[in-house]
Structure 1
Amino acid sequence: MVKKLNRRYVTTKTTKGRTYYYFRQGEKYIRLPDNPDSPEFDQEYWAIRSGKKQQQPKTTFDALIQSYYQSPIFTKKAAGTKKEYRRILELIREKNGKADFTKLRRRDVIAARDRYADTWSKANDMVALLSILAKHAIDLEWTTHNPASGVEKLTGGEYEPWPEAKLRAFERYCRDEKHEWELTAFMLGIGTGQRIGDIVCMEWSHYDGEFISVVQEKTKKRLWVACPEFLKTYLDALPRKGKFLITKSLSKGIAKKTIQERVLKIRRIIGAEKYVIHGWRYSAAVALAESGCSDSEIQAVTGHKTLDMVKKYRAQANQKRLSQSAQARRTRT
């Protein structure tokens, strides 16, 4: 559908509910900015009318994102990381493709973050990717500052171990409602201490009845993770419906985002929305620490690159144990 505006030579086209503005010259249509009340719209309109339409800047979001895709920094990243980056970058490109990146300001980054405040992880991803683009723009000598630097991220679910009651509630709900994908992800998460991105890639050929072989996407490190008895019992009883432990068809697994969304629904139902799926990894590490495992033993299971995080779990387990010992002394006294 095409209609004319009061402004001379300007018409609109409405496609699938979205309205686009054009400067019409005979049979030729020149796209105008989306907001007819903005200064950018007026500048573009009068530039075309006067025959002095400005050249498209070379420092656009579109050009920067394309350059970043071709950079070694991006091409060397893991396939899963590339996919996650592209998801946000294409969203940025869709809304800002022709805009000049060098005019991005801190307030714009904050506005982009707050636009997705209802989904805190997506909001934080937006800030992180804008910061990455800014660093690439600095490397290209387009700009000298990073407007996303220091922008506060939003808080949502906690990267903490799940309370025992919530772990049991999640497992019970999955079993009662026969949610096999979610239950399998849960059992593998608390059993192996691996990230959800690595869990969805686990194949039956990786499991030998005692160990699961994992090449961690983040560290590129190969691990042979021994399965605890509860996990072996679960996997041995799980029907083998395809190539992957969590399978969609004979040859296809489940996307990480699909599992995250399904788990979120259950978290809301059982009142565990504040605890994120990554907390299963922490739950596994803390359980190992509370069982008396050494830092090296915990690291051999979780595959943490350094011992810093492992020491955090050890400290948490020690504090809990010392608290119990102290209260026992108090009771005896």
Structure 2
Amino acid sequence: MTKRALPAHVYDKKGVLYFQRRGWPTARIKAEAGTPEFALEYAALLNGARLAPEATARTFSALTADYIRSQRYRKLAPRTAKDYDKVLIWVKDKIGHLPVERMQRKDVIRARDANSDKARFASYIVQVLRILFEHAQDIGWVETGKNPAKGVGLIKADTVPREPWPADKIDAFRERADGHTLLVFELCLGTGQRIGDVLKMRWSDIEGDGINVTQGKTQARLWVPFTPRLRAVLSATPKRGVTICAHGRGKPLSYRAAAQRIMAVRKEIGAENYDIHGLRYAAAAEMAAAGCSDELIAAVTGHTTVAMVRKYAGPARQKVRAIEAQERRK
């Protein structure tokens, strides 16, 4: 690449890029010119990165390693830690060599926008950087209150909002599904739990006329009573293994296998727009339509915030109230 194609103070020496500025120490640029990572690294150098030897030790790689050793990280639910790990790997790979204290708000936005084609991941970058800077404050690496990721907006995925399963599709699924597929379906709908937690349910978790659940995402511990339909399906299910959802000689049913079975029936009944997680929405919607309060719904679903309960139950509750309101007009 010619010098004219490179930004100010950047030079190509036998295929290796260097940042050289009068009165500043020379620094090698690891990223390839023209990439979002190059722009981020270049901005950090212009902001004064590597000027002070004591600052270079406090890099994002070092901060990430310290965070992973902290109680803050160890207390994360396995599902959350798995999501964070993807970003932590990105941090070490892309900006690990950069000093923490030099990052600015514009750099966070640049990193987010460089990954905007993957909306969920881009938003996680902002969220994890926000947490890393909170940790940096805790250990004295940056001044209290310095958090360039705080307040940076997330990217909303351009997807169709998830909808709860309508009653006619639920009835159609029950008519078409075989025993094992119907079991997964009724466990998701009857307990209102995530598919990952449903597949981990064991026969030994059943207590009385309900089941004990420890949610993988939140670690919330619940006891959820059975619905009449779920009770009937469980009674007709042979115990083939430790987990309730099992196949063959008792081997636990995997998420992939469960998803494939559910999708096969969804295609038969024209319910491709309603996924497995939509059954959790449907459970909340059924309770809302029955007049349950946010607290009662959360007692089953395990939601920890009122906002999430209302997100799941809001449309069904609005419909019930609208019917009541129109009836009163008569």
- Tell me if both proteins adopt one fold, taking TM over 0.5 as the criterion: yes
1:94: which partner in 2? 93
Task: Give the match for residue 110 of structure 1.
Answer: 109
* Secondary structure, counterpart of 1:225 in structure 2: strand
Cα pair distance change 1:103/1:244, threshold 3 Å:
farther
**Distance in 2 of aligned mates of 1:191 and 1:234:** 11
The share of aligned pairs that are identical, in percent, is 36
- Asked if 1:162 is matched to 2:159, the reply is no
Is the Cα contact below 8 Å between 2:87 and 2:125 reproduced in 1?
yes
2:31 alignment counterpart: 34
| Distance change (3 Å), C-alpha of 1:91 and 1:202 | farther
Counterpart of 1:153 in structure 2 is 154
Give the C-alpha shift of residue 287 in structure 1: 0.7
Counterpart of 1:123 in 2: which secondary structure? helix
Matches within 5 A, 1:109-258: 109-144=108-143, 145-156=146-157, 161-164=163-166, 168=170, 171=173, 175=177, 180=181, 185-207=184-206, 210-238=209-237, 240=239, 242-246=241-245, 254=254
Q: State the alpha-carbon separation in 2 of the partners of residues 117 and 258 from structure 1.
A: 31
Q: 1:300 corresponds to which residue? A: 299
Give the distance between the partners of 1:310 and 1:292, measured in 2 at CA.
13
Opposite residue 280 of structure 2, the aligned amino acid is: R
Shift of 1:258: 9.1
Provide the secondary structure at the position in 2 that maps to 1:223: strand
Measure, in 2, the Cα distance between the counterparts of 1:36 and 1:290: 57
Aligned residue in 1 for 2:75: 76
Q: Describe the shift of the 1:248–1:11 C-alpha distance in structure 2 as closer, same or farther (beyond 3 A).
A: farther
- How many Å separate the matches in 2 of 1:36 and 1:161? 44
Cα contact 1:159–1:276 (8 A) shared by 2 = no
Q: Deviations over 1:78-123 (max 9, x none)?
A: 3333233223212322222222233333333233333443443323
What is the number of residues matched between the two proteins?
296
Please give the alpha-carbon distance, in whole angstroms, between the structure 2 residues aligned to 1:211 and 1:264.
Answer: 27
Gaps of 5+ in 2: 1-11, 19-27, 46-52
Could you tell me which amino acid in structure 2 is paired with residue 215 of structure 1? T
Q: SS at the partner of 1:92?
A: helix
Q: Distance in 2 between matches of 1:266 and 1:123?
A: 34
Aligned partner letter, 2:231: K
Aligned-residue CA RMSD (Å): 4.8
The AA in structure 1 aligned to 2:75 is: K
Q: TM-score by structure 2 length?
A: 0.67
Q: Give the alignment's TM-score, normalised by structure 1.
A: 0.66
Alpha-carbon distance change, 234 to 118 in structure 1, aligned in 2, over 3 angstroms: farther
Which amino acid in structure 2 is aligned with residue 162 of structure 1? P
How far 1:36 sits from its partner (Å)?
Answer: 5.6
Q: Does the 8 Å CA contact 1:65/1:89 hold for their aligned counterparts?
A: yes
